[in-house]
């Protein structure tokens, strides 16, 4: 009997560890993302499912896999898994937290710099018509020094970003449900404010909150109306934190100066109107897409699979 099914190709380190442990496994290597039909077929008798965020593991999949004991999600999030139902069935669900912190914070910082200095716009110009030469008022952007960075969700990624961009001379404001200890705020040079204050004061607003019923559509037309018309919005967290149609309307009405998105409300689809703005950067969910982060993620899911099958300790259980 196959012990492990992997619903997408992993970095080689993951399968190397399974090979070393002499664990039998199969990997989906077909075109595109795995279909629901194929997932049901392949998980029917396996004990461990290793899957990326793009694989939906709902109640039907869980019910169809009577031997399943562990769902090891390749990603920090786990919204793709019916984790509460899995718990009812005594199936562990794990994720890969922390290892993607630096990669996602770096990507966010890159989006902030690219948007503020119009780097992507400039690249498009040079790949098309080019330019006539240097001129005093040509292609002006904004420096980060002296600007206010508003962080919605000061978890590990938000804190890593604060450390990085405070070095650029930015003022750091943040909001979340619980305030950080005073010593942590001092170390990060960050000030706790209300959501309303964050919206009103941020020159750049970046989202780093988990997706929950309470945080879904954190930003709607009402929130965009409270922001500076010169402000930029960044989202490398979860797409449904933003009402994308409301964002498109705000950009159209010049209520915001621009946006950079790495995640989407209806991922992998993008609200079509957002593609029409020159002041919007869109990247394909590459927050932790670094060789270093993905190798560490592969190591975690493989070691958890081995632990489950050999009586060891499974780490990062989320249910």
Whether 199 contacts 150, CB under 8 Å: yes
Nearest to 7 by CA among 42, 58, 44: 42
Note if 47 is an active site residue: no
Which of the following is catalytic: 117, 142, 217, 285?
Answer: 285
Collapsing DSSP states into helix, strand and coil, what is residue 89? coil
Nearest to 7 by CA among 21, 28, 23, 26: 28
Q: Which residues contact 50 (CB under 8 A, 6 or more apart)?
A: 4, 5, 6, 7, 10, 14, 72, 74, 301, 302, 305
Note if 118 is an active site residue: no
Which of the following is catalytic: 118, 208, 238, 294?
Answer: 238
Whether 137 contacts 85, CB under 8 Å: no
Which residue's entry shows tokens 């005594």?
A: 90
Note if 217 is an active site residue: no
Whether 274 contacts 261, CB under 8 Å: yes
Which of the following is catalytic: 185, 197, 267, 273?
Answer: 267
- List, by residue number, the catalytic residues: 238, 267, 285
């Amino acid at each position: 009997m196959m012990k492990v099914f992997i619903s997408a190709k992993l970095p080689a380190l993951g399968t190397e560890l399974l090979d070393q442990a002499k664990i039998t496994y199969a990997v989906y290597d077909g075109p595109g993302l795995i279909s629901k039909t194929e997932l049901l077929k392949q998980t029917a008798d396996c004990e461990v499912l290793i899957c990326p965020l793009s694989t939906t593991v709902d109640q039907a999949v869980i019910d169809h896999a009577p031997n399943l004991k562990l769902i090891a999600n390749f990603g920090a999030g786990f919204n793709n898994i019916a984790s509460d139902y899995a718990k009812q069935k005594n199936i562990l669900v794990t994720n890969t937290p922390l290892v993607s912190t630096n990669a996602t914070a770096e990507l966010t910082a890159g989006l902030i710099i690219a948007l503020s200095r119009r780097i992507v716009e400039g690249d498009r110009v040079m790949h098309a018509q080019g330019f006539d030469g240097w001129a005093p008022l040509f292609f002006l952007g904004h420096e980060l020094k002296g600007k206010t960075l508003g962080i919605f969700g000061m978890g590990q990624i938000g804190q890593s970003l604060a450390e990085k961009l405070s070095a650029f001379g930015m003022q750091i404001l943040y909001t979340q449900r619980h305030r950080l200890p005073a010593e942590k705020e001092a170390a990060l040079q960050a000030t706790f404010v209300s959501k309303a204050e964050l919206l009103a004061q941020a020159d750049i607003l970046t989202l780093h909150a988990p997706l929950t019923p309470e945080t879904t559509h954190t930003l709607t037309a009402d929130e965009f109306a409270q922001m500076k018309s010169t402000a930029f919005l960044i989202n490398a967290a979860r797409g449904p934190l933003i009402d994308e149609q409301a964002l498109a309307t705000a950009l159209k009405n010049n209520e915001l100066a621009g946006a950079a998105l790495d995640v989407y409300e209806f991922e992998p689809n993008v609200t079509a109107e957002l593609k029409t703005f020159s002041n919007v950067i869109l990247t394909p969910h590459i927050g932790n897409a670094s060789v270093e982060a993905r190798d560490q993620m592969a190591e975690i899911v493989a070691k958890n699979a081995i632990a489950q099958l050999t009586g060891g300790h499974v780490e990062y259980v989320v249910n």
